[in-house]
Structure 1
Amino acid sequence: MSGLPDRRETLPQSIEEIADTIGVRLALKLVQTFGGQEVKFPVKPHDRHPVILALGKEDGLRICDYMGGQRFSVPHCRPRRNAKADIERLEAQGLTRGQIARRLGLTERWVRKMANDPPPDHPDLFSE
């Protein structure tokens, strides 16, 4: 799992808490498979659900048993970078924010934040 932390102590807190319950192996598999994406985990997934297909039935059911009914922004566990120009370029090409997140290795939440932040020279309408 290249690019991912190799020690439990270096995991982001949200994944560390998941690793405490479902194990480090499955937590890292979750990051490797869905890193940078927001995933809605079903309570009772069917055999063709994307989580089951991506993680395998046993691991998929295990994570859904723990996370079922929740939406979770899976961290990518890569160092942060300033990607505002890349995000703007890819949005102009018509990519969705989810596609941009996957392409740049960022979370959808970070892509939304960067895309919605005004440029540094943009005047603040509420400042005096």
Structure 2
Amino acid sequence: MQNKNLPPASPQKGQLVKITFTGDSDIDLLAQTLGQGIALLLIEHFGGFELRVPKEMREDHDIAKRIGYDNACALSKYAGGGRLYIPCQPPTAKLKRDQIIVQMIEAGKTRPEIARHLGMSTRNLQRIITKLGLSGQTCVLDKRREASKAPESKSNGGLTGGISDFTTQSPPKPQTPPDGVVSNKHGYYQPQTQKDMK
């Protein structure tokens, strides 16, 4: 029962977009039943909200004003008296984002690099990676990348001269204090007598 009064989905300039609704969410089922046009209009106008759909649609209702009265009546017949969660973006936008994440992981990019590229926080990226079931693989790739990096130099870039040695040094051997010198946790000291203090 697709309504012919719907405007076509408007892709961004110069971009051809094919949107498919195939999941089990409210918007996916609505798109499969009433058509993708209504689903896209709802996302455009009510994305991110839970929408209360009246049993009988009026022309002055906010839904009817935004998506058209005929479309609103079709929605009312489908979900009248109920609530629909309308996502902020169509499912294919998330699918494309997920594909980019997987490709960047396979290319050896680290999570901070991927998050910067996609304009999101590393925590949000971690949630998506966990949802995709890639968290272990990502950690392995991050460790491989870190292991392949050259060790950091201990020098300060040659500002005061000298090249640091990358070999590990053994700790210094403990020295025995000379006679009359006492050691404590702060080091060595020579106790002073009353006679020395005068």
Q: Where on the TM-score scale, by shorter chain, does this alignment land: which range?
A: 0.5 to 0.7
Distance 1:33 1:73 in 2: 13
Partners of 1:12 and 1:35 in 2: CA distance: 17
When residues 67 and 38 of structure 1 are mapped into structure 2, their CA distance, relative to the original with a 3 A threshold, is same
TM-score if structure 1 supplies the norm length?
0.53
Greater helix proportion: 1
RMSD of equivalent CA atoms: 2.5
Larger radius of gyration: 2
Take 1:76 and 1:30, find their aligned partners in 2: how far apart are those partners?
10
Give, in whole Å, the separation in 2 of the partners of 1:28 and 1:76: 10
Q: 1:58 corresponds to which letter in structure 2? A: D
**Contact 1:45 / 1:64 at 8 angstroms: preserved in 2?**
yes
Structure 2, unmatched stretches of 5+, are 1-9, 98-119, 122-198
Once the two structures are TM-superposed, the CA of residue 51 in structure 1 deviates from its matched residue by: 0.8
Count of aligned pairs between the two proteins? 81
Give identity over the alignment, percent. 26
Name which structure has the greater RCO, CA cutoff 8 Å, separation 6+: 1
The answer as to whether partners of 1:12 and 1:75 remain within 8 angstroms in 2 is no
* 1:51 is the counterpart of 2:51: no
- Give the distance between the partners of 1:72 and 1:2, measured in 2 at CA: 24
Task: Give 1:53's aligned amino acid.
Answer: K
Instruction: Confirm or deny that 1:67 pairs with 2:79.
Output: yes
Which of structure 1's runs of 4+ aligned residues deviate more than 6 A?
Answer: none
Q: TM-score, normalised by structure 2?
A: 0.36
